[in-house]
Amino acid sequence: MYAWLFYVLPGPTWFRWLLVLGLLAGVIVVLMEFVYPWIAEFGFFSDATLDTGASPSE
């Protein structure tokens, strides 16, 4: 699959590497900005609690 992607991209080898790095950066940005926050709404990832043993009145 990766060889096919590299073969399909236009230009010389150095330009293909720049395109691959740009596409990879774009995928990472989309995942971090849209996909992971959407998944976090349905999970228990941010439901962390901290039990210090102290009562709230102290």
**For the residues of 22-42, what is the DSSP string, one character each?**
HHHHHHHHHIIIIIHHHHHTT
| pTM confidence score | 0.64
Chain segment 1-58, per-residue pLDDT in tens: 778 888 898 999 999 999 999 999 999 999 999 998 888 777 776 666 666 766 666 5
Residue partners of 10: CB distance under 8 A and separation at least 6? 16
